[in-house]
Structure 1
């Protein structure tokens, strides 16, 4: 990175892991753009980061709204001129009852994919001109351990005992492949793209899970921050958690 402050955009950053990532970025001296569907909630989160001594700005960003995403990219262009780090954190679990094999409701599944997969495509495509102006751009996609086909088919892994769903875990598995495709396409330009499994954390997002987690949002944010801040040794096209590579 250059001597200028790193410009980082985090989607879904008003709470949970996204906010923890934004807070840590600010602690590291980055200028953080707090992406949120609700601008008022984004402004509240940004104000909290500033109160702690960081530099943060809210930005209205609904990843399922292409026009809104384009407007956000234009705002970043006008105010900052470039983007160094993009964290695609915004995601939804969706209505789990609509994702059960045998009683699947396609509208519910499509809603999950709109945010967790197509929303990521929309944001990356809009952000690419800005990322290309960076000295060493990084994209981190927040995936899930449930996307690992190795883990979810391993009887010794707790993920294999989670009820089957055709929405959330499938959308995250697709996100992993999307990560690989962008990594392949952008590596020659020095833009590195990785996916992370932050683990189940005790956040609002995890309230519907059939098990309790003692991990905090900050715990989940750690691997995101690590992949976003590594230097030349940073890999690309991989899937990682706290312990290293996650099996596909």
Structure 2
């Protein structure tokens, strides 16, 4: 039997992260899946659900505490992986959050919301990636994934159909603006920053064996933006010649698994998206 690859995914207890864990757990490739969760109890509940949904697996799964907003948590996490496994084969930086709703409701100031978004979506990712790099170097086939978003594309800020009508619509003239703040401005800004972070790691690791990707999993009904999963499914988005609503997060989870398992290796070092099958490199 092949040795299990040691795989860590942050934010693995819910949404897209959970679906990626599920897809990997259902794979014929054996993994030791470390499901990162801010709260151990949430991770344990996710594993209970996982084992109900996937009855047989070549892999093992366990929960690890991973709070990307805490250096202490991440240091403890990496030290634990080093002590138990001595290496890390795959790091999936999936944990992310949107604080735009709290900004719109007045629960957070502009600075608080933007700092919280950056801390979770970029700074915490950079801290964990840096801490985990020595363990990735001990793998024979290391992979580093950053989960980004289609909303982060600079080019696509010019689009105005489907979901982009909501994201990119210009308000009426005058100040103050009605609904002054875009529903995802801080989130999409930090994901654009994450894309640059990925490209920096591509440069840093150009002469090393670590394969680096950013994965844009498509328009998924995760409820991350505060709209709610069912409502997101009703939002129309133009995809080539058809209109679709937000898709099942399982589609994104399987796409992440495909990248982990080498099915998109020709796009190494780039931002790869799941919803443009004939041209999967995302325009940015």
Match of 1:203 in 2: 222
Q: Are the aligned partners of 1:99 and 1:108 in contact in 2 as well (CA < 8 Å)?
A: no
Residues 76 and 152 from structure 1, CA distance in 2 versus in 1: closer, same or farther, beyond 3 angstroms?
same
Residues 136 and 235 from structure 1, CA distance in 2 versus in 1: closer, same or farther, beyond 3 angstroms?
farther
Q: Are the aligned partners of 1:187 and 1:236 in contact in 2 as well (CA < 8 Å)?
A: no
From 116, 120, 123, give the equivalent of 1:115. 120
Q: Are the aligned partners of 1:153 and 1:160 in contact in 2 as well (CA < 8 Å)?
A: no
1:98-131, Cα deviation, whole Å (9 max, x unpaired)? 279xx97111111011000001101101111111
Match of 1:183 in 2: 202
| Secondary structure at 2:120 match in 1 | helix
1:222, 1:80 → 2: CA distance?
26
| Coordinate RMSD, CA, aligned | 2.4
1:175, 1:99 → 2: CA distance?
23
1:236 aligns with 2:249: no
User: What is the deviation of 1:167?
Assistant: 0.8
Runs of at least 4 residues off by over 4 Å:
none
1:131-167, Cα deviation, whole Å (9 max, x unpaired)? 1111111111111000011112123463253163541
Q: Are the aligned partners of 1:151 and 1:160 in contact in 2 as well (CA < 8 Å)?
A: no
Q: Which residues of structure 2 form unaligned runs of 5+?
A: 169-181, 234-244
Q: Are the aligned partners of 1:104 and 1:166 in contact in 2 as well (CA < 8 Å)?
A: no
1:53 aligns with 2:56: yes
Match of 2:32 in 1: 31
TM norm structure 2: 0.79
| Number of equivalenced pairs | 245
1:161 aligns with 2:162: no
| Secondary structure at 1:169 match in 2 | helix
| Bigger-Rg structure (1/2) | 2
User: What is the deviation of 1:78?
Assistant: 1.3
From 215, 234, 244, give the equivalent of 2:247. 215
Match of 1:41 in 2: 42
| Secondary structure at 1:130 match in 2 | helix
2:115, 2:72 → 1: CA distance?
19
Residues 232 and 90 from structure 1, CA distance in 2 versus in 1: closer, same or farther, beyond 3 angstroms?
closer
Q: Which residues of structure 1 form unaligned runs of 5+?
A: none
Residues 166 and 43 from structure 1, CA distance in 2 versus in 1: closer, same or farther, beyond 3 angstroms?
same
Deviates more, 1:39-48 or 1:237-246: 39-48
Match of 1:245 in 2: 281
